[in-house]
């Protein structure tokens, strides 16, 4: 049977996702901007206070070299120096505490913000974006911003304010010596920024080269058994060696290109060069009679410290760039369009005769806005029936099944339950109506009991045991020392098939009117699969069941079987009807039966 002709209906103009709003770096930092501004202000005052003791020593030398010595001035300068030192220490501690408190606040708010937003994005986004992407944003990237919030801003403030304060004081002493001291700083800064040229592009290349090494290592480790079994060890190591050689070639070329200019910058900014400059310039000016010998002391004390902040600026610029990259990944996640929610949600009357009837109406869907994965699907799933989707890989089975729990919204057409468009339902209502079990099982790091009772935390142990028996997992759980209280991942490591059966038990306990099983029995042995299918058939009474299975023998009793091919419904009917037509389904059935017979003959 071919697909029904598309119904004439107006194109649905309702949005499928809330409009994405790009969140900038400043917006990300907005919750702690006030705290950071106070921390920076306190740090700036502490930087000014840090210069005072050095200036006091220079002034003290001037007083001590004056005859007669003004003892009152000596004590005054000493008290000012000591007070400034204490003030510097207290303000430095205060700025550090404020910035770290801001960091704690920022991490807390950002992680909660990410978690809240991830709860609103379409489930299909998690399919396209693996768990590593989410983990990196929520954990790694938020943590990577610690240095920016807690340290970098204060370090940059220190690197700017302290030299500026010192230069202001030195200008008051002698502007000519100040200008001379700034010459090596200017030359060193010029060399340093030239050395930093192209840093962003080089870091991208560095990350790519390192990623190739990591990929080749993972590939080698995962395939080492097969490689050794077939005596291809040398070939298995070849890709890793090429990746390592390419990385070494790239890195050495980068280092060689920057070594000379970087060494020159470090030399010009070194204390030795600064001291040499001060002594030579001071000697020349003293010999010319235009500078008093005592005026060289401030430059010898403060001039040496002018270059250190320059090096700190360079280090913090690198950290700032890394932090910005982490912030961009976080803002990318936060800018992901959320699933559209109706302004006035509708409800489903699941007690009505057709209350849980599922309809796919002229459904079309594309992942990339180009090639259609589903094309004009018209399909009805009646209550108290089992509908099976079959077809070759890439035919659209999983895509169609995932439209029902609203992993994505249709590009055109609609999916309805009880006559209500899924987009008009509140998400909580939808997921109280539809449950699903897929191949990629996710169990939480908690007890087996809590994993099964995820949808119904108030379920009794008897109810949990009942669904575990139906899913053929009760015996395995009973063998555990802690039974249903065993913690998954700690007390017990479940195999793929066992985890799948826990997931099936979880869906059974949820007891939703609509159940989607996307190749849920793929990891269980044939005997257990038959038993589970029997349990699911009994459970299907009064429910709408949509199931996908590669092994056609497990769905031969379905009320209707839908054969998909290239996003279209190629055939539709019962098992006997489809065999009688001798079409695609019949060909798949006979091929599987022949394969089973051959396997049986090999035993």
**Residue 317 CB burial class (10 angstroms; 0-12, 13-18, ≥19):** middle
Q: Are 269 and 188 in contact (CB under 8 A)?
A: yes
| pLDDT (0 to 100) of residue 4 | 39
For position 567, which CATH number holds? 3.40.50.300
Q: How far is CA 121 from CA 1, 246, 266, 423, 425, in A?
A: 37, 40, 49, 14, 15
The domain in which residue 123 lies consists of 31-171
**Does residue 491 belong to any structural domain of this protein?**
yes
Give the SS3 label for residue 154.
helix
**Does residue 223 belong to any structural domain of this protein?**
no
Give the SS3 label for residue 379.
strand
DSSP 149: I
The residues, ordered by sequence, that sit 6+ positions from 560 with a Cβ below 8 Å of its Cβ are 385, 386, 387, 388, 572, 573, 574
| pLDDT (0 to 100) of residue 124 | 79
| pLDDT (0 to 100) of residue 13 | 44
> Token pair of 581, please?
């037509």
Q: How far is CA 458 from CA 101, 431, 452, 470, 513, in A?
A: 39, 17, 11, 19, 19
Average pLDDT across each block of 10 residues of the chain; the chain has 603 residues. List them in order. Answer: 39 45 70 93 95 90 82 91 94 95 92 87 71 72 85 88 91 91 88 76 75 72 63 64 83 84 84 89 90 88 79 71 80 83 80 76 88 91 89 89 89 91 87 82 88 91 90 88 91 83 86 80 60 60 80 84 92 93 91 76 51
> Token pair of 169, please?
């004081």
DSSP 553: G
Total domains present in the chain: 2
**Of 147, 171, 195, which one is at a domain's C-terminal end?**
171
Q: Which among 90, 95, 148, 141 has a CA at the least distance from the CA of 114?
A: 141
Chain-centroid distance of CA 144 in Å reads: 12
**Does residue 10 belong to any structural domain of this protein?**
no
Interatomic CA distance for residues 180 and 306, integer angstroms: 13
**Of 126, 148, 171, which one is at a domain's C-terminal end?**
171
**Of 156, 171, 186, which one is at a domain's C-terminal end?**
171
Please report the DSSP string for 16-71 in residue order: SBPPP-PPPHHHHHGGGHHHHHHHHHHHHHHHHHHHHHHHHHHHHHHHHTSSS--H
Interatomic CA distance for residues 534 and 561, integer angstroms: 17
**Does residue 135 belong to any structural domain of this protein?**
yes
Interatomic CA distance for residues 212 and 585, integer angstroms: 44
Number of other CB atoms surrounding residue 267 within 10 Å: 14
Strand spans (E) along 391-505: 412-417, 420-421, 434-437
| pLDDT (0 to 100) of residue 386 | 87
The residues, ordered by sequence, that sit 6+ positions from 573 with a Cβ below 8 Å of its Cβ are 1, 560, 561, 581
**Does residue 25 belong to any structural domain of this protein?**
no
**Does residue 235 belong to any structural domain of this protein?**
no
Please report the DSSP string for 100-137 in residue order: HHHHHHHHHHHHHHHHHHHTTS-HHHHHHS-HHHHHII
Q: Which among 359, 389, 387 has a CA at the least distance from the CA of 519?
A: 389
DSSP 304: G
Interatomic CA distance for residues 554 and 556, integer angstroms: 6
Q: Which among 375, 373, 391, 388 has a CA at the least distance from the CA of 584?
A: 391
Interatomic CA distance for residues 323 and 35, integer angstroms: 19
SS (H, E, C) 209-230: HHHHHHHHHHHHHHHHHHHHHC
**Does residue 183 belong to any structural domain of this protein?**
no
**Does residue 189 belong to any structural domain of this protein?**
no
Interatomic CA distance for residues 380 and 343, integer angstroms: 27
| pLDDT (0 to 100) of residue 216 | 74
The residues, ordered by sequence, that sit 6+ positions from 389 with a Cβ below 8 Å of its Cβ are 397, 400, 401, 546, 547, 548, 562, 564
| pLDDT (0 to 100) of residue 50 | 92
Of how many residues is the chain composed? 603
Number of other CB atoms surrounding residue 428 within 10 Å: 9
């Amino acid at each position: 049977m071919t697909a029904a002709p598309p119904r004439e209906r107006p194109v649905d103009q309702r949005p499928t996702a809330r409009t994405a709003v790009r969140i900038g770096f400043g917006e990300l930092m907005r919750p702690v901007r006030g705290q950071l501004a106070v921390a920076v202000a306190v740090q700036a005052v502490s930087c000014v206070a840090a210069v005072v003791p050095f200036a006091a020593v220079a002034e003290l030398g001037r007083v001590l070299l004056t005859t007669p010595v003004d003892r009152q001035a000596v004590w005054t300068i000493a008290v000012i120096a000591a007070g400034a030192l204490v003030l510097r220490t207290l303000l430095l501690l205060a700025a550090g505490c404020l910035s770290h408190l801001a960091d704690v606040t920022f991490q807390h708010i950002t992680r909660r913000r990410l978690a809240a937003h991830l709860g609103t994005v379409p489930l299909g986004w998690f399919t396209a974006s693996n768990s590593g992407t989410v983990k990196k944003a929520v954990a790694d990237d938020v943590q990577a911003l610690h240095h920016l919030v807690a340290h970098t801003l204060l370090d940059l403030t220190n690197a700017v304010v302290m030299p500026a304060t010192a230069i202001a004081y030195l200008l008051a002493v002698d502007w000519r010596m100040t200008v001379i001291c700034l010459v090596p700083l200017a030359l060193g800064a010029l060399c340093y920024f030239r050395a930093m040229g192209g840093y962003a592009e080089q870091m991208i290349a560095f990350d790519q080269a390192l990623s190739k090494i990591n990929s080749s290592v993972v590939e080698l480790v995962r395939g080492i058994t097969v490689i050794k079994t077939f005596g291809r060890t040398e070939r298995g190591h070849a890709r890793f060696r090429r990746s390592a050689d390419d990385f070494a070639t790239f890195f050495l070329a980068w280092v060689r290109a920057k070594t000379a200019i970087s060494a020159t910058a470090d030399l010009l900014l070194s204390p030795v060069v600064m001291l040499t400059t001060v002594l030579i310039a001071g000697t020349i000016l003293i010999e010319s009679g235009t500078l008093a010998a005592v005026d060289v002391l401030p430059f010898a004390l403060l001039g040496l410290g002018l270059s250190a902040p320059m090096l700190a600026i360079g280090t913090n610029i690198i950290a700032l760039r890394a932090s910005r990259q982490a912030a961009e990944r976080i803002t990318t996640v936060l800018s992901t369009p959320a699933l559209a929610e109706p302004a006035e949600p509708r409800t489903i009357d699941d007690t009505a005769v057709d209350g849980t009837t599922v309809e796919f109406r002229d459904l079309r869907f594309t992942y990339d806005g180009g090639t259609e994965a589903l094309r004009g699907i018209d399909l009805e799933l009646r209550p108290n029936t089992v509908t099976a989707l079959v077809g070759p890989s890439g035919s659209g089975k999983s895509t169609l099944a995932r439209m029902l729990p609203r992993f994505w919204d249709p590009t055109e057409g609609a999916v309805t339950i009880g006559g209500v468009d899924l987009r008009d339902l509140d998400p909580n209502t939808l997921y109280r109506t539809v449950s699903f079990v897929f191949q990629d099982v996710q169990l939480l790091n908690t007890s087996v009991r809590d994993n099964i009772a995820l949808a119904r935390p108030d379920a009794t142990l008897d109810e949990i045991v009942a669904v575990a028996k139906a899913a053929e997992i009760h015996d395995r759980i009973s063998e555990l020392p802690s039974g249903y209280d065993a913690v998954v991942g700690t007390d017990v490591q479940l195999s793929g098939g066992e985890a799948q059966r826990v997931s099936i038990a979880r869906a059974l306990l949820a007891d939703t009117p609509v159940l989607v099983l996307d190749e849920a029995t793929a990891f269980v042995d044939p005997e257990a699969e038959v038993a589970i299918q029997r349990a699911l058939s009994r459970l299907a009474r009064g429910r709408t069941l949509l199931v996908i299975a590669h092994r056609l023998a497990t769905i031969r009793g379905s009320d209707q079987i839908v054969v998909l091919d290239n996003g279209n419904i190629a055939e539709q009917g019962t098992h006997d009807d489809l065999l009688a037509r001798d079409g695609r389904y019949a060909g798949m059935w006979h091929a599987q039966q022949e394969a089973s017979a051959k396997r049986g003959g090999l035993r």
